[in-house]
């Protein structure tokens, strides 16, 4: 894992990292930028490189990086363009809210999406996001194994929707945290 956890990387550092990815997009498989001050502009710079079909990034951690729904929109756009490689995404402790994650869930419904692990801990998600999430997973049930939505504001109805998916043998979800 290429770890730059808490290294004071900012959007300027993301510009340099994006340039390196542009030069050799197939080399980097794991990237952990958690605990940095990337913000939406840094995530947008990285997302541009993730769109490259030669990009083979399989794991991306952006935990506590100041990402909002704007950065989530850029990341979603990139993953829609190149959905087949990313296996693990951690956007925990960012202020994505329902509008940001609803965009992200559209990636999950793509049959080419191979995401197995999705962590959205403490992202301001409510029951409003559970229906779009379950709909996306019904469209592409075969890959997601681990879903962590703990620390959000899910009520009983949202937890029930998600628990029903986990308990249905048609889906591959092994671990669900609400």
pLDDT of 169: 83
- The count of C-alpha atoms lying within 13 angstroms of the C-alpha of 80, restricted to the half-sphere facing its C-beta, is 10
Average pLDDT value for the chain: 90
User: What is the third-level CATH fold of 2-177?
Assistant: 3.80.10
Within 10 A of 168 (CB to CB), how many other CB atoms are there?
A: 12
Phi, psi of 177 (to 5 degrees): -120, 120
pLDDT over threshold 70, residue 149 = yes
Structure tokens at 7: 């290294």
Lowest mean pLDDT among 5-9, 46-50, 109-113, 165-169: 5-9
Lowest mean pLDDT among 12-21, 53-62, 127-136, 143-152: 12-21
pLDDT over threshold 90, residue 65 = yes
Lowest mean pLDDT among 75-84, 99-108, 168-177: 168-177
Whole-Å CA distances, 25 to 22, 54, 105, 113, 120: 6, 6, 25, 19, 26
Residues with Cβ < 8 Å from 36, sequence gap 6 or more?
4, 5, 6, 7, 8, 9, 10, 13, 42, 65
Instruction: Report the percent of the chain where pLDDT is more than 70.
Output: 98
What residues does each domain of the chain span? Answer: 2-177
pLDDT over threshold 60, residue 130 = yes
Q: Which of 74, 10, 75, 8 is nearest to 39 (CA)?
A: 10
pLDDT of 105: 93
Structure tokens at 36: 């940095």
The residue whose two tokens read 């997973």 is 137
pLDDT of 47: 92
Which tens digit of pLDDT belongs to each residue from 7-26? 778 878 888 888 888 888 77
Confidence of residue 171 (pLDDT cuts 50, 70, 90): confident
Q: Yes or no: say if 141 and 175 are a contact pair by the CB < 8 Å rule.
A: no
pLDDT over threshold 60, residue 2 = no
Taking the C-alpha atoms of residue 164 and residue 119, their distance in angstroms, rounded to an integer, is: 19
Lowest mean pLDDT among 1-10, 14-23, 33-42, 85-94: 1-10
State in Å, rounded, how far the first CA of the chain is from the last one. Answer: 27
């Amino acid at each position: 894992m290429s770890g730059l956890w808490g290294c004071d990387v900012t959007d300027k550092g993301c510009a340099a990292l994006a340039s390196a990815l542009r030069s050799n997009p197939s080399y980097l498989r794991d990237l952990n930028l958690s605990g940095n001050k990337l913000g939406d502009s840094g995530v947008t710079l990285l997302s541009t490189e993730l769109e490259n079909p030669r990009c083979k990034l399989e794991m991306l951690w952006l935990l506590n990086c100041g990402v909002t729904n704007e950065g989530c929109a850029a990341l979603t756009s990139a993953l829609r363009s190149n959905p087949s490689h990313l296996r693990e995404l951690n956007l925990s402790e960012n202020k994505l809210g329902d509008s940001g994650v609803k965009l992200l869930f559209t990636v999950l419904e793509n049959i080419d999406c191979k995401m197995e692990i999705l962590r959205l801990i403490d992202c301001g998600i409510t029951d409003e996001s559970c229906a779009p999430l379950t709909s996306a997973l019904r469209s592409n049930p075969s890959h997601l194994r681990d879903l962590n939505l703990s620390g959000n504001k899910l009520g009983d109805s949202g937890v029930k929707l998600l628990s029903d998916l986990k308990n249905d043998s048609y889906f591959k979800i092994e671990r669900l945290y609400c």
